Structure 1
Amino acid sequence: MEKPAKLTELDDSALALERPRATLVEIVADKLREFILIEKLPPGAPISERDVAAALGISRTPMRGALALLERDGLVEYSVTRRPRVADPSLEDIADSLAVMGALEALAGELACQNASDEEIRQIVMLQQKMAEGSGTLEPIEFFRTDMKMHGAIVQASGNNALIDTHSKYNARLWRARFVSSRRSAGREQTLAEHTAIAEALTKRDAVATAHALRTHLVSAVTNISVALEERQNKAPKE
């Protein structure tokens, strides 16, 4: 049975984006994306445009626009009667998308070894070090954001606009799944070791090793997500 959205836990605090000049629709979409990540809007939950808009203190017009953005990203889907709900993709669908993501990031790593400036590589290493040093102190969502910034920086450093655009679309679709993988404390040590391998290979501009490290990291994500979903299912109350 689908769990209802926890509207009493929603609020309009921190309705802001890091990127400048964001529209209200983009701001609301980012807030809803965060609610989906931390499961204030759990997988499969119906989303009441009116109730969520009221909880956020906005009108239904930007709410509809935000939902349209999240539908494009694969985080929200609509029933045959056009009622929105939080998407709940199968593990098979997630694994298929992560396989593509692994290929995209491996290519990005290869190109970054050729095209990245020394400063870009330094910034990527700094993000990896921030995760390593803050593993036990960073909030899960902050650790995840740093994780995604590192991956995004590698893709940007590839210098390939077509790759950057394609990666952005797949990453939006996998946002919640990658958060599920990132927040598992049981797999954190392995995640940090994989990030270190990526950073070290990139620093050496070893294209083969960088591509291999990124593919390995995405394969591990599938395992983490599979275990996390099984754990969630086991904790779910029996009907």
Structure 2
Amino acid sequence: MQGIDGGVSALDRVTPLNRRTLHDELVGRIRDMIIEGQLAPGGRIHEGQLGQALGVSRTPLREALKFLASEGLIDLVPGRGAVVRRLTAHDVRDMLDVLVALETTAGRLLCRRASDAEIAAVRTLHDEMMGFYADRNRLEYYKRNQAIHAAIAALSGNAFLAASHEGIQSRLRRIRFIGNEGPEKWAGAVAEHEEMIAALEARDADRLAAIIARHLERTWERVQGVI
């Protein structure tokens, strides 16, 4: 672009803003705050205070809150604004029942359809998760853990199954995170994941489905007392 005097305009040296990056970072940060309980279930999100704490204006903040509402993590309530969604024990039990059906089916399909490279990619996620477990980094452990469950659904090759799984898993983010509170609960979940990856690498569909079903049932046992 030329300036009035025919030279190069200063605008040509301006780097365009990457609004998507800002949006993604903001969504991720607020999501983590909900998962870790910094924004408590049932609590109203004060846009002014949160925006000031995060150093953003209300417009990108509201866009992020709308996106998180689409994930089921918050509710946009007339007259109150954004409120962190509180799930009942009945909600959680119902969603876990559906996840059992989806993930066991996905596991069977994955054993039959996935390439060796795709299974190796799941192993990589597992190894990264175990590294974070060794460091006792709960949030990063949890993110790899959820990535593994999402990968099982995605690699099933059934897009409808994967989409249904994503919708439920997003609503259970906080619940799945608190399921690892306490060393015994966490160690139990890790042991189940070790069994899962071994069954997957052996392409033992029946064994993998049984372990997934047991893992999700024990997830319910780990969280029902703290919902």
TM-score, normalised to structure 2, is 0.85
Matched length? 210
Pairwise CA distance, 1:25? 2.9
CA distance in 2, matches of 1:88, 1:179: 14
Structure 1 equivalent of residue 202 of structure 2: 204
CA distance in structure 1 between the aligned counterparts of 2:105 and 2:49, rounded to whole angstroms: 43
1:184/1:120 CA distance change after superposition, 3 Å: farther
Matched, 1:118 2:116: yes
SS of residue matched to 2:136: coil
Label 1:122 to 1:75 Cα distance change in 2 as closer, same or farther (>3 A).
same
Take 2:180 and 2:202, find their aligned partners in 1: how far apart are those partners?
A: 26
The gaps in structure 2 that reach 5 residues or longer are 1-17
What does 1:65-144 align with in structure 2 at a 5 Å threshold?
65-144=63-142
Separation in 2, partners of 1:133, 1:58:
33
Please say if residues 42 and 86 of structure 2, whose CA atoms lie closer than 8 Å, have aligned partners that are also in contact: yes
Counterpart pick for 1:53 among 51, 54, 58: 51
Q: Secondary structure at the match of 1:135?
A: helix
Q: Which residue of 1 aligns with 2:29?
A: 31
What CA deviation, in whole Å up to 9, does each residue of 1:70-128 have, x standing for no partner?
A: 11222111334242211111111111111111211111111100111111112222333
Cα distance, 1:186 vs structure 2: 2.1
Residue in 1 that maps onto 2:9: none
Provide the C-alpha distance between the structure 2 equivalents of 1:188 and 1:120, rounded to a whole number of angstroms. 26
Q: 1:194 matched to which residue of 2?
A: 192
Structure 1: gaps of 5 or more residues: 1-19, 230-239
**Residue type of the partner of 1:97?**
M
Larger Rg: 2
SS in 2 for 1:104: helix
**1:132 and 1:54 mapped to 2: Cα distance?**
36
Deviations 1:15-69 (A, max 9, x none): xxxxx98443332121110011111111121111122112211111111111111
2:211 counterpart residue number: 213
Q: Give the match for residue 183 of structure 2.
A: 185
TM-score, normalised relative to structure 1: 0.81
Runs of 4+ that moved beyond 6 A? none
Alignment check: 8 A CA contact 1:131 1:192 kept: no
Query: Does the CA-based 8 Å contact 2:132-2:138 persist in structure 1?
Result: no
**Is residue 175 from structure 1 mapped to residue 173 from structure 2 by the alignment?**
yes
Aligned equivalents of 2:157, 2:182: Cα separation in 1: 32
| Residue pair 1:191, 1:217 contacting (<8 A) in 2 also | yes
Q: Residue 208 of structure 1: CA displacement?
A: 1.5
CA displacement at 1:168 relative to structure 2:
1.2
Secondary structure of the structure 2 residue equivalent to 1:163: helix
**Distance in 1 between residues matched to 2:221 and 2:157, nearest whole Å:** 30
Instruction: Give, in whole Å, the separation in 1 of the partners of 2:26 and 2:129.
Output: 27
Once superposed, what is the RMSD of the aligned Cα atoms?
2.0
